[in-house]
Structures are given as structure tokens and as C-alpha cells.
Structure 1
Amino acid sequence: MDQKKVIIIGAGPSGSIAAALLQKKGHQAIILEREVFPRFSIGESLLPQCMAFIEEAGMLQAVIEAGFQLKTGADFLCGDKRSEFYFADKFSPGFETTFQVQRDRFDALLATEAQAQGTVIQWQHQVLGADFSGAKPVLTVCDEQKATYQTEADFVLDASGFGRVLPRLLNLESPTNFPVRQALFTHIEDRISGADYDRKQISIVIHPKMADVWYWLIPFSNGRCSLGIVGEPRLFDGFADNQQAFHALVAEEPNLSALLANAVYDTPINGIKGYSANVSALHGKGYALLGNAGEFLDPVFSSGVTIAMKSASLAADVLDRQFNGQAIDWQRDYAQPLQKGVDTFRTFVTSWYEGGLQDVIFYNQQQPNIKAMICSILAGYAWDERNPYVKNSQNRLNTLVELCRITA
């Protein structure tokens, strides 16, 4: 079989993982990345399921040795209520820990590992056009010298994340059923000194008066952390700017205020609005969409990178089989399996904002076996259909919410 050429748009986690997997299968992966790494990105709290894809791509040892903050679970806080989930207690088999990562370092590491396996990365190359009408896809690209050229491939994978290159160029974007939400976030020197504070846990903190407003606190291994606030856009109205809004809203949450009493805010406040997205199709003639280029739900359970890596793994396998002349169906073999896990996450995200999942998380009579199944979802094992909360997520979770509310 002649070596096939796959162009991947974007060198983030899904792009680098897909490239490494394709190289391992004997195909040439070329990544076109519009920026230069390292570059800032959020999505810093990985899930244990990610580790399986990192291992599959031959990058596990490099990630382990990089010195990122070990992550063992998640703590949920709401006023004086606290609920802890440890991934070691999950229902599904698989990795029990993961990492909390600065994405500039993490993404650069994965890209470097992909290059070491033979991937070619063209930095500062931006895709301006895409033509899939011929025998092979043809992309129009602007390079780092602002010169435009065309390049041909056997297949194109869009791993452009929120850039959503092919959805925009091919008019694939479709409305999402999630309300528009906004996030403000920054990195701080946290100076958390409490002996009972566990840096191995992400903290998800609910606003004391608004149940649909929440904060993330993601500690890193260098004494810094990522801090963010999520709510509907009206939450941030009436403030002079993002900085004023951010500090005022952090001050409204007593748990965070106490924990970060000595923190140094030394980085500008960033924001993103209307980040939830969807598409009319995850694939077409000559292309497939990976990760956030296809669909993004919400940051609340840190599912974005996991979904991105899962899509990379699935797509590399289907594409390899296609290149080897096997009968494949992108809808059956890629879109539907990927969507199963995405739909599980969607069920949990929707229930979170409706308040039902919060009632489950803070229920004071939790049964260990049920908690283990919920923990598996929080650990990213949203494709394990041995878990009833994956196999029939909507009905199972709705029933659990009702039981918790009746017996609370």
C-alpha cells in the first residue's frame, strides 16, 4: 500500500494524538498550525480516560515525566456542603489518576512527541479554503511569510478546536441547544497554605445564591492555579470591565475568598462567550471533524480534551481501515460511537445546570456503588456501556435525581 498523506488542521491535543496514531499505522501526518507553540489555552484539568489515548499514542512516559500536577479526583463545594469524588473509587476499569496541566506546556509537549514519531508540523500555516469536490481534498493555505499556496491530501482531519475551520468554510455549523454562557478566567499565584487543602483535586464551587453559576479552581504543580467563573452573560453585566466583574464575583463566594486570601493576581482576566457549539455532520467526503471542531458542550466536567482525544483515536482507526481497503462507514464507525459518550456528558451537563445532578452530588446518603458509577463519568469513562449511567444515561440519572430529592 502506498503511504497515504493526511493533513491535520491544528496541533492541539486531538491533532497531535491523531497524527501520532496515524504515523504508527504507517501514514504520513502533516499538521498545519496557525500559531506558534507554546500558546495559552484553557481546558487544563484532564480526566483519567485521557491517559489511555496518550498511552495509545506512545506519549505516556513523556507526560508522566513532565512534572505536571497529579490529579486524583474532584471536590464539589456549595456553602457548607462538600462532596469528594476520588477516581480510584470509580466503577469502570482503567487509569485512576491523571494530571492538571498548563496547556501551553502540555500541548507543546504532545506536538513535540508527535514530531518525534515522524509528524511534520507547519507552524503559522493558516487554512483559508477547502475544496473537497475532486478526487482528493485540496486546501488553500497562508504560510508564515503570508504567501498563499495549495496542498493536496488523501484525507483531512479538522482538529482546529474553537477555530472550527472546516465548519466555517463548509457551512457545517448548526445551533446548539445549550443556553449561551460566558466564562472569565485567569492564572494566579494562589499562595494557598491550608494544611487540609489537597492540590491533587480540582475544586468546583457553586455560587452561594445562584445555582447555575460556578467556579473552577485547578491547582498546578508550581504554586499557581487556574481560576474561572462560568455563568450566563447577564451575570457579568453592570461591571466596568472583566477584571472588576471577576474580582467582585470571586469575593461573593466565601470558600474561595478564604482559600485565596493571599493570592497574587498577576495575569490579565480572559473571557470567552458562547462557546457551546454543534455541527450538522462530523464527517463528509474526504474529511472528519475532531474534538471541539465538531462539538463542544461546557467546561464544567472537563470533558473537552477527553472527547477530543477519543475522536482522534476513533478517526485514526477508521481512516487506517479505509486506507487498507476495508469497508467502513464514517457514520457508523466514527460519528455514532463518538456521539454516545458526548451524549452521556450532555446528560450530566444539562442536569448540572438544572440542579438535579447537584442534588445527587451533595446527597447525604450516597450509596458507594452508585457513587462509583457517577465517578466513572466524572473520570471520563463515558463510553463504558457496562455502566448503567452510560448505557441509559438520561433515564438512569433522572430516576436517581428523583430518588435523591424524595429521600433528602
Structure 2
Amino acid sequence: MNTTWDVIIIGGGPAGSTAASTLRQAGRKVLVLEKEKFPRFHIGESLLPYNRAVFEDLGVWPKIEAAGFMVKRGAQFWMGDGSIRTRLNFSQGSFTEFPESIQVERAKFDDILLRHAEELGAEVREEALVTEHRIEKDRVTIKFRTKDGSEHEAQAAFLVDASGLTNFTANREKLRDYYPGHKKIAIFGHYSGVQMTEGEEKGDILIIRRKNSWFWMIPLEDDKTSVGLVLDQADFKALNMAPQAVFDDAVLTTKTVQDRMINARSISQGHVLSDFSYTNRKLVSDRVVRVGDASGFIDPIFSSGVMLAMSSGQRGSKVVHAALTAGKTMTFAMRHYEWSTRRNVSRFWQFIEKFYTKHFAQLFFQPSNKFRMVCAINCALAGRTRMSFATWWRLRIFFALVWLQKRFSLAKPIEIG
């Protein structure tokens, strides 16, 4: 196959399908190469309110709304022993424009996004494994292998790498850097019979803080819950146990989780994901833009993954369209995309790197809305990456207090675990 495309996209997940839809809306000829057959299992099921803006831009919101996903109005953070908890209610944040989000089963959700891109006119090839890419003066050449084992080649003016944790082009160019001290492993599965919150709090994600690790509990349906444990890789290796055994032991030693899973039954379990939290030294180069997890990946503690992926997919594809229009292989807008993507990630990273510290927990779990600081935190964790000055200075005060808490114990001491 020697068809010349405007853009080839590696990966059909949320970032890739968003890029494909955005480029098709601009009239570009797009080929999506996805190594798996959709629908397929994937993790990262809790979305953020600011995803809604991207859904509406793509014109896919009616399809997502019709799918009947669980509504998510808030996020709850619990101590492992159940002694203390706090809740972010997205509808009560004075700086937050979107009052709710959704919890999704990714197999169904990702398939909706990919089919939407296909309906808009993107050519989608599933079970197409990309094996090689070459950046040439006048084109990008991609080689890929299909399910029957046959080899194919395609050319385009631009390449969008949305290959997720495979990180295809960046790994080939040795661009990946890990965040120091944040090599994690997640062990997770789906369960029925989990006792989740009801009433106004129905649909909330629960984050349960242990001393050096944490659980997520995400209600996907009335009787289906995603439950996962995240811990340091070094701690996991030191236990010298099978992943499911580590998970089961952590459930039994975490009261908040054990109480909710007393009648739980496994639907699927034993899934493992490792090597969290990395960045790539370059997100753009001549004829190449990296989006989604192929631009970097951070700890999922605040459910930022899908929102960041779709946002970068949308913005990255727009700068590609502009570069194609200008007949250029590298533009200022592409470099600005790289800067803004790193800035958006940093909005969450400032919370993530502090979340594992005791002094942060002592303030975060005992919030005060003085000066509407909780409203600013709510806005940031709802996924608003473009901060107004009103939220920016409040967040600066909050993190200054976190710094002071480490040295002067401003808040009431609490035990972690």
C-alpha cells in the first residue's frame, strides 16, 4: 500500500481518536493504525469534568451521553483506617464551570471515540502493529504488520504518535525520562458486590490513602467496580509475592477497603501496569507530534489521564493542521504545544508529588475554604488547565502552606494509613 496521507496516527485510544476526529473536522486525510482490536480492556476509567469541553468540540458528547455511563459528581479521599475523609464536590467549586463527569468502562468508551473518528472519515486499521518509522525530508514513512502477518508501508506529510505507554517514537529515539522516586506498579481488577457510596455521593471515585501506597475504587455500573492498588515497584519487589497476593493482602490490611469488599466477587483480576510517571525530552520534531501518554505519563491518583490525553490530542492535531496549511515541518505553534502540554501536566504533578508526603495529607484531608482555597483546588483537580489569576494565587498560597506545614505543624496531626 503506497497511499499518501496528510497525517498518520499511531494508536486509536482517546488521544489518537481525538486527533483523528479533529483533523477530519479540518478536512485532512487521516490514517489511524491501532495494534489491538476494539473494543478492548483498558485502565483509566475515571474522567474529569473538563473532559466535557473536548467531547462537545468533537461532536461526540451525544453518543457518550446515550451510552449511559455512571455520573461522577465528586471525588472522595479516605485514610486507610477510615478515621478521616474529605470530598471534592465538583458542583460546589466557585471556579469550576462543569459540575460533573462520568466513570467509564474504557472498552466501551474508547470504542465510541474511535468509531466517531471513523464516521467522520478517518481510515482506521485495527490489529495493525507499527514496526518502523522514518522521518524523511519530504515525508514520513511508516511500516506496519497486519493480523495475517503481511507487511505494509504508508507515507504521510506528518506523524502523530498516540501510541500510549508503548511510547513508540520516543522509545526508538531514547527520549524517555522517569520522574525520580515515582516508579510505581498498579494491580487492579473489576469486582461485583463492592459497597460503594449512595445518594448524592453515588458515582464518586474513592481514593484510599495507605502509608506508602493507595487504592482506587471506581463504580462503573451499579454492581461493577474497578479496584486497584498502586505502590512503589521497590516495595512490590521486596514483598516477593505474586501481584494478586499483594493486592489481596493490602485489602485485608486496609479497613476502609476491606469493609467495602467484604462481599466482593471477582469479575476480572490480576491486571498489572508498571513504569508510571515519565516524560519525553522532546514532544515535537520535524513532521512529528507526540500526544497523550506518548508525550508523557503521570501517576493516576487524580484521574488526569484521559483528560490530558484528549486535550493534547486536540491541541496537537490543530498545530499539525496549521503546519500542513503553512507547508512547514516545524512551527512556533508546535513548540508552544510542547510548552503548554508540559504546563498542563505540571498542574497535576504539583499535587501528585506532594500527595505521598505526610505534611500535604495533613492539610489536604483537613481542608479550609478560607479565601476559597478549596474552590481553587477543586477547579485544578476537575481538570481546568488554563488557570485564571483568581485560582492561580490561591493555589500558590495552598502550596506555601504545605511547605510551612512540613516545618511548623500548622494543621492538626493525623496518622497516615
TM-score tier (shorter): over 0.9
Aligned position for 1:130: 133
TM-score, normalized by length of structure 1? 0.92
Tell me if 1:112 matches 2:119.
no
**Take 1:195 and 1:70, find their aligned partners in 2: how far apart are those partners?**
12
Q: Are the aligned partners of 1:318 and 1:333 in contact in 2 as well (CA < 8 Å)?
A: no
Helix, strand or coil for the counterpart of 1:306?
A: helix
Structure 2 counterpart SS, 1:48: coil
CA gap of 1:231–1:264, structure 2 versus 1, over 3 A, is: same
- Return the letter of the residue paired with 1:96: P
Per-residue CA deviations over 1:238-259 (Å, capped at 9, x if unaligned) read: 3541121111101111111111
The aligned counterpart of 1:24 is: 25
Deviation of residue 92 (structure 1)?
A: 3.2
Question: Which residue number corresponds to residue 338 of structure 2?
Answer: 335
Alignment of 1:286-325 (within 5 A): 286-325=287-326
Tell whether the 8 Å contact from 2:42 to 2:106 is kept in structure 1 after alignment. Answer: yes
Work out whether residues 47 and 303 of structure 2, in 8 Å CA contact, stay in contact via their aligned partners in 1: yes
- Residues 206 and 407 (structure 1), Cα distance of their counterparts in 2 relative to 1, 3 Å cut: closer
Aligned partners of 2:373 and 2:398 also within 8 Å: no
Matched, 1:230 2:230: yes
Write the letter of the residue equivalent to 1:219.
Answer: P
1:356 Cα deviation after fit:
3.8
User: Helix, strand or coil: the match of 1:217?
Assistant: strand
The CA deviation at 1:392 is 8.8
Matching residue's letter, 2:387: D
Q: Structure 1 residue 135: deviation in Å?
A: 0.8
Residue of 195, 200, 204 corresponding to 1:201: 204
Which position in structure 2 is the counterpart of 1:406? 410
| 8 Å CA contact 1:178, 1:276 repeated in 2 | no
**How large is the RMSD of aligned CA atoms in angstroms?**
2.2
Return the letter of the residue paired with 1:406: L
Cα distance, 1:97–1:330 mapped onto 2, change above 3 Å: same
In structure 2, what is the Cα distance between the partners aligned to 1:312 and 1:353?
A: 29
Encode CA deviations 1:40-92: one digit per residue, 9 max, x unaligned: 11110000111111111110111111011000110111131010111112243
Q: CA deviation at 1:187?
A: 0.6
Q: Are the counterparts in 1 of residues 197 and 203 from structure 2 also a CA contact under 8 Å?
A: no
Q: Which amino acid aligns with 2:226?
A: S
The amino acid across from 2:93 in the alignment is: K
The alpha carbon displacement at 1:348 in A equals 0.8
Q: Deviations over 1:8-50 (max 9, x none)?
A: 1000001111111111111112100011011111110000111
Question: Among 160, 170, 174, which residue is 2:173 paired with?
Answer: 170
Check 1:109–1:185 CA distance in 2 against 1; reply closer, same or farther (3 A cut): same
Quick one: which amino acid aligns to residue 167 of structure 1? A
Percent identity over the alignment? 26
Unpaired segments of 5 or more residues in structure 2? 413-417
Matched residue, 1:72 = 73
How far is the alpha carbon of 1:275 from its aligned partner?
Answer: 2.2
Match of residue 415 from structure 2: none
Q: How many Å apart are 1:194 and its aligned residue? A: 6.7
Secondary structure, counterpart of 1:61 in structure 2? helix
Aligned pairs (5 A) from 1:238-249:
238-249=239-250
After superposition, residues 338-357 of structure 1 pair within 5 angstroms as 338-357=341-360
Q: Any conservation in 1 of the 2:7–2:28 contact (CA below 8 Å)?
A: yes
Q: Identify the residue that residue 218 of structure 2 maps to in structure 1.
A: 218
Unaligned runs of 5+ in 1: none
Give me the whole-angstrom Cα distance separating, in 2, the residues matched to 1:385 and 1:364.
21
Structure 1 CA distance, aligned partners of 2:68 and 2:20? 24
Q: Specify which of 88, 93, 96 is matched with residue 99 of structure 2.
A: 96
Offset of 1:368 from its aligned partner? Answer: 6.8
Partner residue of 1:189 out of 173, 185, 192 = 192
Shift of 1:195: 5.4
Determine if the alignment matches structure 1 residue 85 to structure 2 residue 78.
no
CA shift, 1:191, in A, is 4.1
2:129 paired with 1:121:
no
CA–CA distance in structure 2, aligned partners of residues 201 and 290 of structure 1: 28
**Equivalents in 2 of 1:34, 1:241: separation in Å?**
28
Give the drift of 1:272: 1.6
Equivalent residue number for residue 267 of structure 1: 268
Cα 1:396–1:4, aligned 2, differ >3 Å: closer, same or farther? farther
Which amino acid is the alignment partner of residue 348 of structure 2? F
Q: Could you report, residue by residue, the CA deviation over 1:207-263 in whole angstroms, capped at 9, with x for unpaired residues?
A: 2xx1x3111000012410100111112433335411211111011111111112111
Shift of 1:141: 1.2
Give, in whole Å, the separation in 1 of the partners of 2:403 and 2:336.
35
Q: Kindly indicate whether the alpha-carbon contact (under 8 Å) linking 1:283 and 1:330 is maintained by their aligned counterparts in 2.
A: no
- AA in 1 matched with 2:88: F
- In structure 2, what is the Cα distance between the partners aligned to 1:372 and 1:53? 22
